[in-house]
Amino acid sequence: KQYQFPKDFWWGAATSGPQSEGRFHKAHRNLFDYWYDHEPGAFWAGVGPDVASNFYNDFRQDIALMKQAGLNSVRTSIQWSRLIKGLETGEPDEDGVRFYNEVIDEFLRQGIRPIMNLHHFDLPYALYEKYGGWTNKKVAVLFADFAETCFALFGDRVKEWTTFNEPMVVAEGEYLYRFHYPLQVDGKKAVQCIYNLNLASAMAIERFRQSACEKQGGRIGIVINLTPAYPRSDAAEDLAAAAFAETFKNKAFLDPAVKGVFPPKLVEILRKDGVLWESTPEELDLIQRNTVDFLGVNYYQPFRAQAQTAFDDSEGWLPEKYFAPYEMPGRRMNPYRGWEIYPQAIYDIAINIRDNYGNIPWYVSENGMGVEGEEKFRQANGMIADDYRIDFIKEHLAWLHRGIAEGSNCFGYHLWTPIDCWSWSNAYKNRYGLIALNLANQQKTLKKSAYWFRDLAAHNGFT
Ligand code: BGP
């Protein structure tokens, strides 16, 4: 079968500043830098964000490799902790400005569209120390100031911006499931954090509308991770569990970003349970007025839900009061990574956006397959033969294609990630790149999937 995609489709890949640049010449540490300095061996066996994939020093070569892999667009992020020297005054750091200017210009010189994201889990640590991070609305205001500086400095060349990457993961990692610093379990803080991140995104969008960016052809969006929730069965309790999981995990960001309002059901339940966020009418109005132009959707895995039967409230309120994860027997697991593979969810997402979110323009901003021990697939000629990744992409694209054929307004697909990069959760154990990174000598070489991707982009589709 022939899978042709719409004209001018984005074929690209996504990375982030903190996972690729390394910490060279940074004015400040972000939360992960701090955590790593503090407890180097704790989670990453001593391998940290200090060098990452050395994009700070290698960016010209790296962008040339991305070009060879056929990418016509790439998302990365501007690190607040690199660009801004005066976290309170907003004063930019000279080397930070130089670096991002050169990176953006290099992308453009190679004919690659740069999409710039403003927050990829990398809050400056000093703002956590002083204000308590995203639980404090002051941080939202400072974020909007930082965003405004980015629009002024780079908006003449960057046409697509996104405010946050996976804001739900910030709330979950920091205040529910302990995988981001400060590693707390506090449902009430998580809920306030969700609200404040939505507010910060809307404030940044307001600054964008006030800037010259739109006149220069710019658009702004957000990158949300969607894990469509599927019920264990048709029993009423399972359906209700999946509905709450869908609301909490997905709609809590999707609805304010696209529709300007929080899901009423969520507000109702949080209020009833006494954990609703603190908001003001002015803030809610600002959120309502400042919705996105487009949506980025990160999709890796579905969420299977069942009725909760054993909620333990010893740690206070948690969203699990209303659902429990369900490990469906026979579900298809990634043999190298531990996440379920369910390509059809991409179609479900496409139809959901078409039917429930005004068919807003959107793209797949991350999708990808993490593989442990990829070296064993290296052939005699030196190339990693990652056929499993090619198959993974094809399967997801086939479902995406069907969603587009049925009218969903999708304009692109970005793989996570162009070049193997550092991970928050597993350092370099699981590789995702089209381009392999040899940690011993920082050599970067195209994998088989990179050649396949180049053909995909050149033909705007595959058979
Ligand atoms: C997404 C993040 C990325 C990236 C990716 C891979 O959630 O936006 O930053 O890390 O997941 O996941 P992991 O790093 O856990 O392998």
For residues 55 and 383, what is the distance between their CA atoms, to the nearest angstrom? 22
In this prediction, residues 417-435 reach a mean pLDDT of 95
Residue among 31, 223, 392, 425 to mutate when testing ligand 1 (max atoms within 8 A of CB): 425
Task: Tell me, yes or no, if 160 is annotated catalytic.
Answer: no
Q: Is 442's pLDDT higher than 90? A: no
The values of phi and psi at residue 313, to 5°, are -100, 20
Question: pTM here?
Answer: 0.98
Residue among 253, 415, 423, 431 to mutate when testing ligand 1 (max atoms within 8 A of CB): 423
In this prediction, residues 28-52 reach a mean pLDDT of 85
Kindly state whether residue 21 falls inside one of the protein's structural domains.
yes
Residue with CA at minimum distance from ligand 1 atom 15: 425
Residue 371: its pLDDT value, please?
97
Kindly state whether residue 198 falls inside one of the protein's structural domains.
yes
Residue among 121, 169, 432 to mutate when testing ligand 1 (max atoms within 8 A of CB): 432
Sign of the four-CA dihedral 330, 332, 336, 338: negative
Residue 44: its pLDDT value, please?
64
Residue 294: its pLDDT value, please?
99
Residue 325: its pLDDT value, please?
97
Whole-number Å distance, alpha carbon 423 to ligand 1 midpoint, is 6
Kindly state whether residue 168 falls inside one of the protein's structural domains.
yes
Residue 308: its pLDDT value, please?
98
Kindly state whether residue 403 falls inside one of the protein's structural domains.
no
Is the distance from CB of 292 to CB of 258 less than 8 angstroms? Answer: yes
Residue 284: its pLDDT value, please?
99
**Exposed/middle/buried for residue 271 (C-beta within 10 Å: 0-12, 13-18, 19+):** exposed
Task: Tell me, yes or no, if 366 is annotated catalytic.
Answer: yes
The domain total for the chain is 1
Sign of the four-CA dihedral 390, 392, 395, 398: negative
Kindly state whether residue 234 falls inside one of the protein's structural domains.
yes
Residue 440: its pLDDT value, please?
86
What CATH number has the domain bearing residue 267? Answer: 3.20.20.80
Catalytic hit among 160, 174, 340, 366: 366
- Domain of residue 106 covers 16-357+369-376
Percentage of the chain beyond pLDDT 70 is: 99
Whole-number Å distance, alpha carbon 15 to ligand 1 midpoint, is 9
pLDDT tens-digit profile of 367-381? Answer: 999 999 999 999 999
Residue 39: its pLDDT value, please?
84
Residue with CA at minimum distance from ligand 1 atom 13: 423
Nearest to 411 by CA among 398, 399, 400, 423: 400
Kindly state whether residue 1 falls inside one of the protein's structural domains.
no
Whole-number Å distance, alpha carbon 333 to ligand 1 midpoint, is 17
In this prediction, residues 43-72 reach a mean pLDDT of 91
In this prediction, residues 189-196 reach a mean pLDDT of 98
Kindly state whether residue 251 falls inside one of the protein's structural domains.
yes
pLDDT tens-digit profile of 304-352? Answer: 999 999 999 999 999 999 999 999 999 999 999 989 999 999 999 999 9
Residue 441: its pLDDT value, please?
87
Residue 40: its pLDDT value, please?
73
Whole-number Å distance, alpha carbon 211 to ligand 1 midpoint, is 31
For residues 138 and 135, what is the distance between their CA atoms, to the nearest angstrom? 9
Residue type at 293 in one-letter notation: D
Q: Is 42's pLDDT higher than 80? A: no
Kindly state whether residue 420 falls inside one of the protein's structural domains.
no
For residues 301 and 348, what is the distance between their CA atoms, to the nearest angstrom? 12
Taking every pair of Cα atoms in the chain, the longest distance, rounded to a whole number of angstroms, is: 64
Q: Is 80's pLDDT higher than 90? A: yes
In this prediction, residues 206-221 reach a mean pLDDT of 98
Q: Give the β-pairing of 113-117 and 73-77.
A: parallel
Whole-number Å distance, alpha carbon 268 to ligand 1 midpoint, is 32
Ligand 1 proximal residues by C-beta, below 6 Å:
16, 19, 165-166, 169, 225, 298, 366, 370, 416, 423-426, 430
Q: Is 19's pLDDT higher than 90? A: yes
Structure-token pair, residue 224: 């949300």
Residues 6+ apart with CB under 8 A from 336: 369, 370, 371, 372, 373, 374, 388, 430
Could you give the angle at which helices 187-210 and 167-175 cross, rounded to 10 degrees? 150
Is the distance from CB of 40 to CB of 46 less than 8 angstroms? Answer: yes
ipTM above 0.95, yes or no: yes
Is the distance from CB of 157 to CB of 147 less than 8 angstroms? Answer: no
Nearest to 226 by CA among 188, 185, 169: 169
pLDDT tens-digit profile of 240-299? Answer: 999 999 999 999 999 999 999 999 999 999 999 999 999 999 999 999 999 999 999 999
Whole-number Å distance, alpha carbon 287 to ligand 1 midpoint, is 27
Q: Is 414's pLDDT higher than 90? A: yes
Q: Is 129's pLDDT higher than 90? A: yes
Q: Is 45's pLDDT higher than 70? A: no
Residue type at 199 in one-letter notation: L
Q: Which atom of ligand 1 is nearest to the CA of 425?
A: 15
Could you give the angle at which helices 187-210 and 252-259 cross, rounded to 10 degrees? 20
The values of phi and psi at residue 25, to 5°, are 55, 30
pLDDT tens-digit profile of 101-124? Answer: 999 999 999 999 999 999 999 999
- pLDDT, averaged across the chain: 97
